[in-house]
Chain A
């Protein structure tokens, strides 16, 4: 089947979406007509009501597909005056690809670059073009690599030479979005129903009656049914058009290699999965370390900090770049597996351009730090923007200390709010397992008795005790959390203390407990 024929099929499939909607409406209308003719009055009204409820999402679906409501374009728009070099690069690449340059460039906080277009009339007429460029992506690529990524994305505007294959790609996005919308509607309905029932239950309680269980199984079922019908159709659609989409991705890679150079393109493709993983890790282990305690890194560092991590762990990342995923992320993934894409590009003949553009991609921006701060301002939630900002060493120390403090809570509660000295006295008095028994327990631990129960309780007791002692050491300034871009945060203790502490905690939580070593360790703290 040629490209044209496949495109015609895609068009038919997209039209089928309308036909499906109209068919569903006709079926509902037919039922109403039959009800009008034969059913008794009360039943008739009920049937009308249900059919209208069912018809609403179908009609909405038809309109949804006609004018897909675009997501609010995110990110920070930058004008040509703001970022002349970036704009010049994009324009030059667009020209070489042979497509119209975007009308907007937006900087985002993702490890990604993307293009979008406000299309009209089923996507047959193009509209305003936007290009999204993620600063974390720029942080991890060299200039030539970024050019390759941008060239690839621009290739999607003009891809595969016909408007109709563009329609295929657009249709796929619209289908997915429609199913998503149906599910979102169903979820919203379930949430509303839950809130309503909970409110009702509250009222029942206020009147002194027992509250009924909140049951939301029925809510949103009409939407979900519609979603199911459309999902079935959408699957058919996606499967039918997917091989074409994957071919287009490979074509865009080859175009990128032609324009940005073979080696730069391969380098960028290899770098992206590694960057993605590194960025996820960075967000959870560094930038997000203190969010639960209301702490964030300094302005500009939330998305900019990943640069330090990338620099410090260059070797690890090099390893990740060698190890590429060779399976598609999902059966509906429009991109071929990364290993295949890289292999295709690397199979091209050497173009002698491997030394081009090896400077950092961020240098294309007129003021990278300002841009990072500005993107942060538009990307963070209002809640996050109100958090306390700290430099990295303080952020790590304070977040980890807060974590230690939280780690003491369970044991403190189990010991009836006792402070460390009182807890040690209780251990000496043989009450350790009674206290540990009040710590939160797993199902297996709750079922255990005797010595087995004690073994289940021991780690919790030791952990809590360790947290309480560490808290004392931190509070008195004997300990400090050290942060590092190459490894996890470590607790800095005076010489000899780590071994002493381990042995002392073991002794205090042993079967024949001995708290003396811990007391020795804590004595100088109390003196201060």
Chain B
């Protein structure tokens, strides 16, 4: 017994050490003391305090987008039409602009009504209207759990989604080469639970027009996730297919990481520390890092695709204890955190600072400071 005693003591110490480490990492924050110390480390590395983090946006506001939004809200729908046209055949950019206008139309759509009345066959107006109906439906439903959502909210939600489906059909008739109204229908497919064949048909139309569209992958991945209409396997297979076919710098590698992230968020039995260190996840993270390096020379540094990928990569690197590499990503995106994985937490700012500050503290520790 006497000989066993030191072993027991060591085992207990080890247990508490691991437990503390997990608590500090797991997002529950560890003790108040260690949180404050981590925050101090982040500050020393020049990272922003929590009250200066923007949880709504992914990138700093762009003058072009802001001007277009203000113009339409002042009633100038022609400015909105021109804003979409300027994207030309850059289908990613066109879809993004349509989506932004659709978002602006959720609160006040007087300009959009005027646009549609003046040009009933304008493909851009139809695409904006269709997507704005989807956003409007979610605004009506609200983000509360089903039991806290009233029958009236559900009825209006479904009515508006049904109307959106009809409007997408109209917008798709007018679309020509533009994949936007097909990509825009994917979130609707999710909300209404389209059968797989219907989504595959939409996907075929997208592939004809722009087979490696980042936004198309983003929306379709959500559809194929277990929490919506697919499974972990379907989501991962879908994301891998895109990543394999894309050129370096197109950042479709991000969606493989996203598929893993969705799986871990969905399945509460998974232990993140173990899951994110599986060889295939580490390999996918490395692939995304290579992709990011290639993208830096292709894309505008302000491109939201870069920021979105960096946030996800930073999350993976954090769990893989690759703190220096994670910090490098945090430095590039700090300040605008309106994206996954933070937006999946009840308190996005809390999750972000927790992870970032812990990373900062580990970096300082490794450097011996």
- List chain A positions with a Cβ less than 8 A from chain B: 442, 444-445, 448-452, 455-456, 458-459, 511-512
Contact = CB atoms under 8 A, between A and B. Distances in A.
B152 A444 contact: yes
Contacts of A442: 150, 152
Nearest to A456: B156
A341 to B, nearest CB: 36
A451 B150 contact: no
B107 A512 contact: no
A451 B107 contact: yes
A450 B156 contact: no
A455 B156 contact: yes
Contact of A451 (B108, B116, B117, B142): B108
A455 B136 contact: yes
B113 interface: yes
Interface string B66-89: 000000000000000000000000
A452 B109 CA distance: 11
Given A455-B160, A459-B152, A512-B113, 13 more contacts: A444-B153, A448-B140, A450-B107, A451-B106, A451-B108, A452-B106, A452-B136, A456-B152, A458-B159, A459-B156, A459-B159, A511-B113, A512-B117
B109 A444 contact: no
Contacts of B139: 451-452
5 contacts: A442-B152, A444-B142, A450-B106, A451-B108, A456-B140
B136 A459 contact: no
Contacts of B150: 442, 444
A218 B140 CA distance: 43
Contacts of A448: 140
Interface string B168-184: 00000000000000000
Nearest to B156: A455
A450 B135 CA distance: 14
A445 B152 contact: yes
B97 to A, nearest CB: 20
Contacts of B113: 511-512
B152 A449 contact: no
B125 interface: no
B58 interface: no
A141 B70 CA distance: 74
Nearest to B160: A455
Contact of B109 (A445, A451, A458): A451
B140 to A, nearest CB: 6
Closest 7 pairs between A and B when the two form their complex, measured CB to CB = A450-B107, A455-B156, A452-B139, A450-B108, A451-B109, A452-B140, A442-B152
Contacts of B153: 444
Nearest to B107: A450
B155 interface: yes
A124 B142 CA distance: 65
B225 interface: no
B155 A451 contact: no
A429 to B, nearest CB: 16
A462 B139 CA distance: 21
A449 B109 CA distance: 12
Chain B's interface size range is 10 to 19
A442 B160 CA distance: 18
Contacts of A444: 142, 150, 152-153
A451 B105 contact: yes
A445 B136 CA distance: 14
Nearest to B157: A455
A5 B108 CA distance: 79
Interface in B99-133: 105-109, 113, 116-117
A512 B136 CA distance: 17
A459 B151 CA distance: 13
B357 to A, nearest CB: 37
B159 to A, nearest CB: 8
A452 B116 CA distance: 19
Contacts of B109: 450-451, 511
A125 B193 CA distance: 69
A162 to B, nearest CB: 52
Nearest to A511: B113
B287 to A, nearest CB: 42
B243 to A, nearest CB: 38
B156 A512 contact: no
B155 A449 contact: no
Given A455-B160, A512-B113, A449 B136 contact: no
A232 B142 CA distance: 45
B263 to A, nearest CB: 34
A444 to B, nearest CB: 6
Contacts of A450: 106-109
A455 B140 contact: yes
Contacts of B152: 442, 444-445, 456, 459
Contacts of B116: 512
Interface centre among B106, B116, B140, B150 (most CB of A within 10 A): B140
Contacts of B108: 450-451
B73 to A, nearest CB: 11
A449 B107 contact: yes
B80 to A, nearest CB: 16
A444 B140 CA distance: 9
Contacts of A459: 152, 155-156, 159
A444 B117 CA distance: 30
A132 to B, nearest CB: 41
B141 to A, nearest CB: 10
A446 B107 CA distance: 15
A503 to B, nearest CB: 13
Interface string B297-319: 00000000000000000000000
A448 B160 CA distance: 16
A450 B132 CA distance: 13
Interface centre among A452, A459, A511 (most CB of B within 10 A): A452
A510 to B, nearest CB: 9
Nearest to A506: B163
Contacts of B105: 451
Nearest to A443: B150
A449 to B, nearest CB: 7
A511 B160 CA distance: 12
A233 B192 CA distance: 55
A448 B108 CA distance: 12
Nearest to B132: A451
Interface centre among A442, A445, A450 (most CB of B within 10 A): A450
Contacts of A451: 105-109, 136, 139
A448 B141 CA distance: 11
A459 B159 CA distance: 10
Contacts of B136: 451-452, 455
